[in-house]
A = this chain, B = another copy of it.
Amino acid sequence: MRVSVQVEAFHLGAEAEGFAQANNSAGAIVTFTGIVRDAPQGGLVAMEIEHYPGMTLKALNEIAQTAMERWSLADALVIHRYGRLAPGEQIMMVATAARHRKDAFVAAEYLMDYLKSRAPFWKKEILNDGGAGWVAARDEDEDALTRW
């Protein structure tokens, strides 16, 4: 299990390949990668991601550890960036390795649902008209937690 909170870009290809190779007796590997999308109204210049340094790693480790135990994962990986990202840049990824595909999928969805609403990150959209705004938490993201 590895959790990383970092400013630097990560290399999805290298991470996915390394994770799969390290878990080649697992059977099923799922990855999720989040990419900075343009704002709904267009004109996104950058996404600024703030986090709570003292809490972030702890929260991510707890979330990943819970997933590891609940679905008997062979391995889990969480990488989340902070700082200023341009549209098209990769923000974060998770990877799960399990014996069967169901566990790998459901654990990856669990990680994502908890990262969305329980990991101390906040996103601010910087627009090309000089405007800026904090991304509001979506009710459906909070609701997604009720299924776990």
A residues neighboring B (CB under 8 Å)? 11-14, 16-18, 20, 23-35, 37-38, 87-90, 99, 101, 104-105, 108-109, 112
Contacts and interface: CB of A to CB of B under 8 A. Distances in A.
The binding surface of chain A is classed by DSSP as mixed
Nearest to A109: B105
Contact of A11 (B17, B23, B90): B17
Nearest to A141: B101
26 contacts: A12-B13, A12-B17, A13-B13, A13-B18, A16-B17, A20-B33, A20-B90, A24-B89, A25-B38, A26-B37, A27-B34, A28-B32, A29-B31, A29-B32, A29-B34, A29-B35, A30-B31, A30-B32, A30-B33, A30-B108, A31-B31, A32-B105, A37-B99, A101-B112, A105-B108, A105-B112
Protomer copies: 2
Given A13-B14, A14-B13, A112-B101, A26 B35 contact: yes
B101 A34 contact: yes
